Amino acid sequence: MSLYRRRILLGIAGGIAAYRSAELARLLVKQQAEVRCVMTRSAKEFITPLTLEALTGETVHDELFDLTTEREMGHIRLARWAELIVVAPATADVLARHAHGMADDLLTTILLASQVPVLMAPAMNQAMWSHPSTQANVALLRERGIQIVGPDCGELACGEQGSGRMCSLETLLAAMRLCLGGGRLRGERWVINAGPTWEAWDRVRVLTNRASGRLGFHLAEAAAAEGAETILVAGPGVPRSSLPMRRVDVESALEMHRACLDAAEGADVFVATAAVSDYRFAERIEGKHKRAGRQTVRVELVVNPDIVADVARLPRRPDRVIAFAAECREHVHSARQKMLEKGVDAIVANDAERMGSEEAGGWWIDERGVVELSATSKVHFAEQLLERIACMEDEA
Ligand SMILES: Cc1cc2nc3c(=O)[nH]c(=O)nc-3n(C[C@H](O)[C@H](O)[C@H](O)COP(=O)(O)O)c2cc1C
Express each pLDDT in 241-283 by its tens digit: 888 899 999 999 999 999 999 999 999 999 999 999 999 999 9
Q: What atom in ligand 1 is closest to the CA of residue 17?
A: 8
Q: Residue 25 Cα, ligand 1 centroid: separation in angstroms?
A: 20
115 CB-side CA count, 13 A: 1
Which residue's C-alpha comes closest to atom 7 of ligand 1?
A: 15
Q: Residue 19 Cα, ligand 1 centroid: separation in angstroms?
A: 13
Ligand 1 and 91: CB distance under 6 A: yes
Q: Residue 275 Cα, ligand 1 centroid: separation in angstroms?
A: 42
Ligand 1 and 87: CB distance under 6 A: no
Give the mean model confidence (pLDDT) for residues 13-35. Answer: 96
Q: Residue 44 Cα, ligand 1 centroid: separation in angstroms?
A: 11
User: Is 179 part of the annotated catalytic residue set?
Assistant: no
C-alpha dist (Å) from residue 289 to 162, 200, 293, 345: 33, 12, 12, 43
Ligand 1 and 377: CB distance under 6 A: no
Which residue's C-alpha comes closest to atom 1 of ligand 1?
A: 16
pLDDT digits (tens, 9 = 90+) for 46-81: 999 999 999 999 999 988 877 666 666 677 888 899
pLDDT at position 358 is: 82
Give the mean model confidence (pLDDT) for residues 4-32. Answer: 95
Return the axis-axis angle of helices 106-113 and 92-99, rounded to nearest 10°. Answer: 40
Ligand 1 and 120: CB distance under 6 A: no
Ligand 1 and 134: CB distance under 6 A: no
Neighbours of 104 (CB within 10 A): 9
Taking only Cα atoms into account, the Rg of the chain, rounded to an integer number of angstroms, comes to 24
Which residue's C-alpha comes closest to atom 5 of ligand 1?
A: 15
Residue of 37, 153, 158, 167 marked active site: 158
Ligand 1 and 10: CB distance under 6 A: no
Q: Residue 124 Cα, ligand 1 centroid: separation in angstroms?
A: 8
CATH 3.40.50.1950 fits 7-179, yes or no: yes
Rounded to the nearest 10 degrees, how much is the dihedral formed by the CA atoms of 13, 18, 22, 28? -60
Type and span of the H or E element at 370: strand 369-377
Q: Residue 14 Cα, ligand 1 centroid: separation in angstroms?
A: 5
Give the mean model confidence (pLDDT) for residues 140-167. Answer: 88
Question: Is 189-284+295-395 the same fold as 7-179?
Answer: yes
Neighbours of 309 (CB within 10 A): 16
pLDDT at position 70 is: 66
Whether the per-residue pLDDT at 395 is higher than 70: the answer is no
Domain assignments of the chain as residue spans, ordered by start? 7-179, 189-284+295-395
pLDDT digits (tens, 9 = 90+) for 331-381: 889 999 999 999 999 999 988 777 777 888 899 999 999 999 988 989 889
Ligand 1 and 90: CB distance under 6 A: no
DSSP class per residue in 91-142: PHHHHHHHHTT---SHHHHHHHH--S-EEEEE---HHHHHSHHHHHHHHHHH
CATH number of 189-284+295-395: 3.40.50.10300
Q: Residue 15 Cα, ligand 1 centroid: separation in angstroms?
A: 4
pLDDT at position 183 is: 76
Higher pLDDT, 138 or 163: 138
Which residue's C-alpha comes closest to atom 6 of ligand 1?
A: 15
pLDDT bucket at 394, cuts 50 / 70 / 90: low
pTM, to two decimals: 0.73
Q: Which of 62-71, 106-115, 205-214 has the lowest mean pLDDT?
A: 62-71
Q: Which of 16, 40, 91, 102 to mutate to test the pocket of ligand 1 (most atoms within 8 A of CB)?
A: 91
* Residues facing residue 365 across a β-bridge: 347, 370
pLDDT bucket at 393, cuts 50 / 70 / 90: low
Whether the per-residue pLDDT at 225 is higher than 90: the answer is no
Give the mean model confidence (pLDDT) for residues 296-302. Answer: 95
